[in-house]
Structure 1
Amino acid sequence: MTSLLLPVFTVLLVVTSSDASCWRQLPKDGVEKCQYKGITIDRGDEYRERTPPDCFRCSCGSDGTLSCCSEGKRIGTPPATCKVVQKGCDQVAVSLTDESKPCSEPVMFVSG
């Protein structure tokens, strides 16, 4: 039983830790549209920013509630033999001595 728990826990940890972080902003009185980082979003619409490293998706609810989630994978502290590079909206761990090779050690992803 114990030998089964470790792989299951590891998979759950990786899946949970690679989820994006999300936040909400309640509607402001008298404001008909949502705003985030200088972007105006009509009620019922969505906006997506795919410019690394600041990738996010926001939607403006019919009641004016702004809901946003970051997108992309973020890496915590990489192993000493690796470094983090940005590839699109994702961070990836590569070999410290050869960036064309992936990190040879386990890497922990954190929420974006």
Structure 2
Amino acid sequence: MSTNKMYLFFFVSTMLVVPSKMACWIESGNGKSCQHEGHTLALNEVYENNWGPRCYKCTCRTFGLSCCDTGTVIIREGLPSNCKVIKKGCHEEAVSKTDESKPCDGPVRAVLG
């Protein structure tokens, strides 16, 4: 299997198992470099957006730019009623509704990007 097909298989597989709030995507390239938000990236060069509100990491490959969201996303389904989700930088945290300085007292599920 060619490298390009392996990358495509990996990213399609990832998108099938990752919740809808998280995503990976591919932007086309020219085989020598990639363009992203006004930046030119050389092959295998990495670009990271760590300041939100959407945080992601991209790598320039021969087929184009491969990007995935980063950070933590709290799964709201099953979140205890005494908890709420707040955003801190690239990450979401489950905290007490009555005191945001305290973590959620109950089962919380999260996905890392």
Shorter-chain TM band: 0.5 to 0.7
| Higher strand residue share | 2
Q: d(CA) in 1 for partners of 2:63 and 2:43?
A: 6
2:66 and 2:109 mapped to 1: Cα distance?
27
- 1:1-112 alignment runs, 5 A limit: 21-27=23-29, 32-61=32-61, 63-77=62-76, 78-110=79-111, 112=113
Aligned length: 93
Instruction: Give me the whole-angstrom Cα distance separating, in 1, the residues matched to 2:52 and 2:29.
Output: 28
Relative contact order higher in (CA < 8 Å, ≥ 6 apart): 1
**Contact 2:85–2:93 (CA<8 Å) still a contact in 1?**
yes
What RMSD in Å do the two structures reach over aligned CA positions?
Answer: 2.7
Q: Give the greater-gyration-radius structure (CA).
A: 1
TM normalised by structure 1 equals: 0.66
TM-score between both structures, scaled by the size of structure 2: 0.66
Aligned partners of 2:44 and 2:112: how far apart in 1?
26
In structure 2, list runs of 5 or more residues that go unmatched.
Answer: 1-16
Secondary structure, aligned partner of 2:58 = strand
* Superposed structure 1 runs of 4+ greater than 4 Å apart: none
Measure the CA separation in 1 of the matches of 2:38 and 2:90.
Answer: 20
Q: State the identity as a percent.
A: 41
